[in-house]
């Protein structure tokens, strides 16, 4: 059986990351508030020892989120230490042995100026967001979030004295003064209830970068300078994603949904299940049948056949 590719790590001084790790087999990594206090104490040690700046966090029973800045360019060392130290302490506290976290942690590079606000919003709403990510956040869950102690939400809202190890530098994206920023943040979060909140991950590039062209090109250059198998696999996946994005852009204004679906699956290589969800099909079998019927129709309809051939030719010419 082929082994799973290790997550790509791109590290440089001053990099900012969204970090996330789950419990092994999705089991809890926080059983009670004692564990949550223990984790925060371990995060504080990490910050002192490795110089990491934590901009936000959220603790969920079986995973955690964190935005971490690394002035020393040492993310793997710092988060590796954090998870190892916490696992040892958790195991000692609960009389258990073995792994606590599921594989390596995930880390996406973040352009804070562009995405800090949407990332803060996404992470802080995690405890109250419904399982159906396409559903609105129920308005009655606002009180649940107001009572949730185990994230940096209350710190951003100005409702408590922040921990020494937490940086509120990103609060400045909501206002010039602390009071103004706290008010604007609270209003922003209040507006999320009763509606679906957009996820920043729709803009994730190459599974690794949440940012504009400058950060994307910097990261690509660093990865392309390496010849490891993980880097090669990442470049292949990133190339496939860019091709899919080009196809989506080319057919965005196509009035015939059948052609858009066909192009995105056949030319863009998108997963049928993802396209089915976007176009309102119950499952991928509906997309499979649509593609098959459209190709059969193109054999009988000369105009449709020409359209598909032209589209295939144009897109093949713009592939890198």
Given 159, 185, 210, the domain boundary residue is 210
Pair (269, 173) in one structural domain: no
Environment class of residue 96 by beta-carbon count within 10 Å: exposed (0-12), middle (13-18) or buried (19+)? exposed
| Residue 238 included in any domain | no
Pair (61, 166) in one structural domain: yes
Given 161, 189, 210, the domain boundary residue is 210
Q: Are 275 and 264 in contact (CB under 8 A)?
A: yes
Pair (39, 164) in one structural domain: yes
DSSP secondary structure code for residue 194 in this structure: T
Which residues pair with residue 54 across a beta bridge?
Answer: 68, 166
| Residue 46 included in any domain | yes
Pair (124, 184) in one structural domain: yes
Q: Cα 214 from chain centroid?
A: 19
Pair (183, 260) in one structural domain: no
Here the CATH number for the domain that contains residue 113 is 3.30.70.1290
- In whole angstroms, what is the distance from residue 295 CA to residue 287 CA? 12
Q: What are phi and psi of 82, to 5 degrees?
A: -55, -50
- In whole angstroms, what is the distance from residue 2 CA to residue 301 CA? 44
Q: Are 243 and 319 in contact (CB under 8 A)?
A: yes
Q: Are 211 and 114 in contact (CB under 8 A)?
A: yes
Pair (32, 172) in one structural domain: yes
Residue 239 pLDDT = 59
Pair (182, 249) in one structural domain: no
| Residue 225 included in any domain | no
| Residue 91 included in any domain | yes
Residue 1 pLDDT = 34
Pair (149, 269) in one structural domain: no
Pair (145, 92) in one structural domain: yes
Q: Cα 43 from chain centroid?
A: 21
| Residue 239 included in any domain | no
| Residue 220 included in any domain | no
Residue 2 pLDDT = 38
| Residue 234 included in any domain | no
Residue 235 pLDDT = 59
Residue 6 pLDDT = 60
Residue 316 pLDDT = 61
Residue 163 pLDDT = 96
Q: What are phi and psi of 102, to 5 degrees?
A: -90, 100
Side-chain half-sphere CA neighbours of 177 within 13 A: 3
Longest alpha-carbon distance in the chain: 72
| Residue 249 included in any domain | yes
Radius of gyration of the chain from its Cα atoms, rounded to whole angstroms: 23
- Written as tens digits, the pLDDT of the chain (320 aa) is 334 456 678 999 999 999 999 999 889 999 999 999 999 999 999 999 999 999 999 999 999 999 999 999 999 999 999 999 999 999 999 999 999 999 889 999 999 999 999 999 999 999 999 988 778 999 999 999 999 999 999 999 999 999 999 999 999 999 999 999 999 999 999 999 998 888 898 888 888 999 998 999 999 888 887 765 555 455 556 556 667 777 877 788 888 889 888 988 888 777 888 888 888 888 888 889 898 999 899 889 888 888 888 887 766 655 54
Residue 230 pLDDT = 58
Given 184, 210, 236, the domain boundary residue is 210
Pair (271, 201) in one structural domain: no
Pair (181, 297) in one structural domain: no
Pair (70, 150) in one structural domain: yes
Q: How many domains does the chain have?
A: 2
- In whole angstroms, what is the distance from residue 254 CA to residue 93 CA? 59
- In whole angstroms, what is the distance from residue 294 CA to residue 139 CA? 43
Residue 221 pLDDT = 87
- In whole angstroms, what is the distance from residue 124 CA to residue 118 CA? 10
Tell me the residue ranges of DSSP E strands in the chain. 15-22, 53-60, 63-70, 106-110, 209-210
Domain limits for position 314? 245-318
- In whole angstroms, what is the distance from residue 32 CA to residue 35 CA? 6
């Amino acid at each position: 059986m082929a082994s799973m590719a290790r997550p790509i790590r791109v590290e440089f001084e001053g990099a900012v990351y969204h970090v996330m790790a789950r419990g092994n087999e999705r089991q809890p990594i926080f059983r009670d508030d004692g564990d949550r206090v223990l984790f925060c104490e371990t995060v504080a040690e990490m910050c002192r020892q490795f110089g990491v700046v934590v901009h936000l966090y959220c603790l969920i029973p079986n995973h955690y989120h964190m935005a971490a800045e690394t002035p020393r360019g040492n993310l793997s060392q710092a988060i590796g230490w954090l998870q190892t130290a916490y696992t040892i302490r958790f195991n000692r506290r609960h009389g258990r042995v073995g792994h606590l976290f599921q594989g390596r942690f995930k880390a996406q590079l973040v352009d804070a100026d562009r995405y800090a606000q949407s990332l803060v919003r996404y992470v802080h709403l995690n405890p109250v967001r419904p399982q159906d990510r396409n559903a609105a956040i129920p308005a009655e869950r606002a009180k649940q979030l107001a009572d949730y102690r185990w994230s940096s939400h209350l710190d951003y809202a100005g409702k408590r004295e922040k921990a020494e190890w937490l940086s509120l530098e990103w609060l400045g994206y909501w206002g010039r003064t602390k009071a103004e920023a706290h008010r604007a943040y609270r209003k922003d979060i209040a507006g999320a209830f009763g509606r679906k909140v957009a996820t920043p991950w729709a803009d994730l590039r190459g599974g690794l970068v949440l940012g504009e062209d400058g950060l994307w090109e910097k990261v690509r250059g660093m990865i392309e300078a390496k010849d490891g198998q993980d880097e090669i696999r990442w470049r292949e996946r990133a190339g496939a994603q860019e091709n899919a994005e080009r196809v989506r852009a080319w057919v965005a204004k196509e009035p015939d949904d059948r052609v858009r679906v066909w192009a995105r699956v056949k030319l863009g290589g998108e997963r049928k299940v993802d396209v089915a969800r976007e176009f309102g099909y119950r499952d991928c079998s509906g997309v499979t049948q649509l593609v098959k019927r459209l190709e059969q129709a193109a054999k009988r309809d000369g105009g449709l056949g020409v359209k598909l051939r032209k589209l295939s030719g144009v897109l093949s010419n713009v592939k890198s």
